[in-house]
Amino acid sequence: MRLNPVFREGLEVYLAEGHGFAAYFYVLILLAPVVFLTLFLPSLDAQVWVGPAHLFRVSFVAALVLIVYFSLRTANQEFAPWRLRTVKSWLHEQGLSRGALARGQLALFSLQVILFVLLCSPLLLWAAAIARASAAAIVSAFLLLSFYAFAYGIWGLAALALWERRFETRQVFVRVFCIMMVFLTSVFYLPLNPAAFLLSYLGEKEMAPLALWGWQWAAYSAHFTFHILLLGAGLAAHRWGLRREVYW
Amino acid sequence: MSFGLLRIVSQVELSLSVTKAALQSCLIASLVFIVSFSLHADEITIDAEVGFHGNFHLGRPFPLRVELSNLGPPVEGTLEVTVWKGGATKGLAAFAVYHRRTISLAAQARKSAWFTVDPGSIGRPLLVTFHSARGSSAKEIDLRRHFSPAPLILLLTASNLMPHLPLAPASPAPLVAVSPEELPADARAYGGVSTVVFYEPSLRDLSKAQAGALESWLASGGRMAVLGSLDYALYQEPSIGRFLPVRVTGLKNFAALAAMERSYGSKAASLKNVTAMDSTLLGGRSLIEENGTPILVERSRGKGKILYLALDIGRPPLSRWEELPRLLRDILGAPVESRSAMPTSWDEAVFTQLLLNPALLSSYVPVGAFFMWMVFYLAGLGVVTWLWQKRRLSWRRLALIFLSLVVFSASGGYLQFRQGGKIPDGVLLAATVLEPLADGYVEGNSNIAIFSTLRRDYDLALDGGWSDFDPVPRRGGRLEDNALVALEEAGRPSFRVAVKEWDHRLFRGRSVSRFPLSVEFDPREDKRVLKVSNLTAHDLTDCWLILAGERISLGDVASGSTRTREFPLANGAASAADSRSRQVDLRDIPFKDKTRELLFRASFFPQEHGLARWGGNAALFFGWVKDAPRRIRAGEERVSTRDFTLFRAVFPLGEDEDL
């Protein structure tokens, strides 16, 4: 079986040459102290804080933030961009079809997300065991983590396809995208925010429904509809960016 | 055609009649069911007696006797008494305490069950319910008709009839005559009783639990008055002998009572030809003695007091004596204040500090193991990276090693923390301050917490000697957060507490028990002498003396040993006055165990009660009891227990003896 050339190039650059190790290192070196210190460090409100009680939730939220951010950056080819062929080169010089290029990029992105989740999984599982979380909660937390990584990370690929030759623009876009998503979801409707949703879901807390033009949407429906739309929009933007590259 | 029509009409009529019959039988069946259900429910009748013959002291626990009568077939069910505590007047959300007992009732039978209840107010009625497979019966009890603002005096006689004793004018407290079988078997039920008076009692049938409860109540501040009788044989029974300060030998006749005259003036001269019980003194202090025969004897028992009067006040000439109310007033005395002069602090803030303390944290969080797994995993990743850098292994092998490392670390750590990671289901913490009473007794004020890492129920079993045990309600908590179930099975009180995961419940308790540790402080003119005799089975560690503005470390006092230390006084009255004005900040005293240090500062000598700084008006001795006897148990292997017991004794110095 022949590997997709885009995927093979990604494997070579990120894993064989080790250019992706920096991202994995950052994720682990930031997550490990957060998980460990959450065990016993007091918070500002000593009345309610019991570290291990929140260990599961805090660890998964920290992992969520780190994985989403570094997935975005990896998908945006911020690590070793000089070692990777451009979209134009793949399409016009290597004669790769747009579909094969998209599949290769998506496969590489999926591998990165899986690797991030895999690397964090021991720490997260230990945290879940200490916090006495149920198996169902652990499985759903891992699924949510992967889902968010895809839903947000895909915009890194979209940025790459849209502004491949403008590296700074892409860099600014992914950061602004991250911050704006956190800000807007917090301001307009908190259950749309993945961190807030994860905290509420794992803490078994009720979330207020979304009221729009007299209609009431359950928080779960609103949250997942929004993120599925976000994922779909990201995929569409990626596809549109690649198509634009073909005709330009 | 017409035949066919007729057939259809007859079929319709038939189906209508079938439907009607079915409906009728359904209706009859449901009526029978409803009637039989209500009949079954009515077959159990509930009768209840509040306190002692319908009297209880407001604000204190009291006994509740519930009698179930079964008019039907045998039945087994749960008898439940719902008591409300807290409420707006106490600044807390109201919460329920459920007292439960499993009862089996034979056909056409009656059964009584005793409960000790302590409602927060008399505004809400008590609810008594009996739940069984056949249905439920309930009865509400209005407490407003039963309370007394003053503590009760119980008169214990062989018969249940109120004898003609002139006790009522001697005390404003209500006098209730009870028979021995009506005495509660739980010391807490005596909470609203100031004095138990024995007159011609027969305690032969008193159960071990009843005697133990009476003794516990006495030691925790109760007062017992034993009034003599011509029927002296009743006082020679071992069951009452355990309480008496004398050994009754017979009767003795006195022509006059000169010693009574000395105490009660010339009016005692009218007492001629008096027959009194003759006895020999066993302990205590003879207050009035006539020709070597103790007439009035006082003896301490823990915080309580026993008074013995050899005279029969129910028969002439004493029953007609005009000074009898005064004598009885002296015997009955004033109720003892049961609360400690130095209250401890116990609330969410104190317990949260304890929870975060690394010494306690390590008992429910495997910090060390977590750190080791983390180091192992990160080091393993480092080795994989090194192998990749050296390029000695193929890609496939490296990927396999990496995956194996992740899977092994994740599953190994998970299994260890989940099952064998020394994470207990709960931690039971008991912090007790022991304060010495008379005759080798100590009063223990316990602050108790059960902390849970899981959502589950815990059964807290109390050993004997507890006179109080109350939950510390959570402010702003929901009804179910503070609810408590008291299980009254097998004669030993226990409490079932539902605790959410990573949550806790707090309790306070008070107990009196024997603990032969005596501390004597002798303030002489030139020096002060401290003598500590530890006759208990437990070492006293980390002992300190706070004296005249100084803190002195005394080290340990081993079990069975006695230590004496002398402290010379500084010269001059001025320096004595100066030392009195000096204060010691108790928060500066270090202890090796950080949990002890925290308890000492935040709970035992809290700043908010003005106990953090110790003045020179009193000397303070304290030490930690090593492996102190447990008074409360969670009774399971998955519950880790931590006991901290501090013994403290205060010795007032000079004129200003108030603390």
pLDDT bucket at B317, cuts 50 / 70 / 90 = confident
Sorted by sequence, the CB contacts under 8 Å of residue B255 that are 6+ apart come out as B272, B273
Residue (of A129, A239, A66) closest to B422 by Cα position:
A129
Cβ neighbours of B411 in A, within 8 Å: 125
The ipTM, to two decimals, is 0.90
Rounded average pLDDT over A18-26: 90
Residue A77 falls in which region: left (phi positive, over 0), alpha (psi -120 to 50) or beta: left
Lowest mean pLDDT among B461-475, B496-510, B555-569: B461-475
pLDDT bucket at A71, cuts 50 / 70 / 90 = very high
Rounded average pLDDT over A32-41: 84
Domain B44-145: give its CATH superfamily.
Answer: Immunoglobulins (2.60.40.10)
- Can you give the pLDDT at residue B260? 78
- Can you give the pLDDT at residue B121? 82
Angstrom CA distances, B565 to A46, B535, B554, B561, stand at 43, 18, 9, 13
Condensed to tens digits (0 to 9), the pLDDT of residues B118-136 reads 888 888 889 999 998 888 8
Cβ neighbours of B453 in A, within 8 Å: 52, 132
- Higher pLDDT: A225 or B571? It is A225
- Can you give the pLDDT at residue B657? 42
The nearest alpha carbon in chain B to A46 belongs to B352
Would you say residue B619 has pLDDT above 80? yes
Radius of gyration of chain B (CA): 34
Cβ neighbours of A50 in B, within 8 Å: 352, 355, 502
Rounded average pLDDT over B147-159: 83
- Can you give the pLDDT at residue B284? 82
Angle between helices B395-415 and A98-130 (to 10 degrees): 30
Rounded average pLDDT over A34-50: 66
A&B contacts, CB < 8 Å: 89
CB of B371 within 8 Å of any CB in chain A?
A: yes
pLDDT bucket at A44, cuts 50 / 70 / 90 = very low
8 Å CB contact between B458 and B504: no
How far is B433 from chain A, CA to nearest CA, in Å?
24
The nearest alpha carbon in chain A to B419 belongs to A129
Cβ neighbours of B387 in A, within 8 Å: none
- Can you give the pLDDT at residue B360? 75
- End-to-end CA, chain B: 113
- Can you give the pLDDT at residue B622? 93
Greatest mean pLDDT among B22-31, B577-586, B640-649 lies in: B640-649
Residue (of A176, A105, A125, A182) closest to A148 by Cα position:
A182
H/E segment holding residue B487: strand B484-487
The verdict on a CB contact (< 8 Å) between A36 and B371 is yes
Would you say residue A147 has pLDDT above 90? yes
CB of B366 within 8 Å of any CB in chain A?
A: yes
Using CA of residue A180, residue A186, residue A188, residue A193, what is the dihedral sign? Answer: positive
- Can you give the pLDDT at residue B23? 56
Rounded average pLDDT over B411-429: 83
Cβ neighbours of A33 in B, within 8 Å: none
- Can you give the pLDDT at residue B579? 61
The verdict on a CB contact (< 8 Å) between A28 and B381 is yes
Rounded average pLDDT over B614-621: 83
Cβ neighbours of A16 in B, within 8 Å: 395
Alpha-carbon B424 to chain mean position = 26
Greatest mean pLDDT among B25-39, B144-158, B320-334 lies in: B144-158
The verdict on a CB contact (< 8 Å) between B377 and A122 is yes
Lowest mean pLDDT among A209-213, B425-429, B491-495: B491-495
8 Å CB contact between B130 and B44: yes
The verdict on a CB contact (< 8 Å) between B388 and A18 is yes
Q: Tell me which of 3.40.50.300, 3.40.50.880, 2.40.30.10, 3.90.320.10 is the CATH number of domain B150-332.
A: 3.40.50.880
Rounded average pLDDT over B552-568: 89
Angle between helices B395-415 and B367-390 (to 10 degrees): 180
Condensed to tens digits (0 to 9), the pLDDT of residues B601-611 reads 889 888 777 77
Would you say residue A145 has pLDDT above 50? yes
Q: Residue B651 has which token pair?
A: 């010795």
% residues pLDDT > 70 (chain B): 84
Cβ-nearest to A129 among B355, B406, B418:
B418
pLDDT bucket at B14, cuts 50 / 70 / 90 = very low
Using CA of residue B224, residue B229, residue B235, residue B239, what is the dihedral sign? Answer: negative
Mutant choice from A24, A48, A116, A132 vs B, greatest count of B C-beta within 10 A: A132
Cβ neighbours of B418 in A, within 8 Å: 129, 132
Cβ neighbours of A128 in B, within 8 Å: 414
Would you say residue B166 has pLDDT above 80? no
- Can you give the pLDDT at residue B3? 44
Q: Which residues pair with B572 in a beta bridge?
A: none
Using CA of residue A42, residue A43, residue A44, residue A47, what is the dihedral sign? Answer: negative
- Higher pLDDT: A210 or A156? It is A156
How far is A54 from chain B, CA to nearest CA, in Å?
9
As a whole number of angstroms, the distance between CA B613 and CA A67 comes to 53
**Strand positions, DSSP E, B34-157:** 44-50, 56-57, 62-70, 75-85, 95-105, 109-117, 126-132, 135-141, 147-148, 152-156
CB of B349 within 8 Å of any CB in chain A?
A: yes
- Can you give the pLDDT at residue B37? 43
- Can you give the pLDDT at residue A106? 93
% residues pLDDT > 90 (chain B): 21
The verdict on a CB contact (< 8 Å) between A122 and B418 is no
What does pTM read for this prediction? 0.75
Phi, then psi, of B231 in degrees rounded to 5: -85, 70
Q: Residue B454 has which token pair?
A: 């899981």
Condensed to tens digits (0 to 9), the pLDDT of residues B467-479 reads 788 888 877 666 6
Residue A243 falls in which region: left (phi positive, over 0), alpha (psi -120 to 50) or beta: alpha
8 Å CB contact between B582 and B548: yes
- Can you give the pLDDT at residue B21? 55
Return the domain boundaries, chain B.
44-145, 150-332, 340-358+423-454+499-659, 366-420
pLDDT bucket at B224, cuts 50 / 70 / 90 = very high
Cβ-nearest to B370 among A48, A49, A130:
A130
pLDDT bucket at B338, cuts 50 / 70 / 90 = low
- Can you give the pLDDT at residue B491? 63
Q: Other C-beta atoms within 10 Å of A92: how many? A: 12
Q: Which residues pair with B311 in a beta bridge?
A: B276
How far is B424 from chain A, CA to nearest CA, in Å?
10
Greatest mean pLDDT among A143-147, B20-24, B186-190 lies in: A143-147
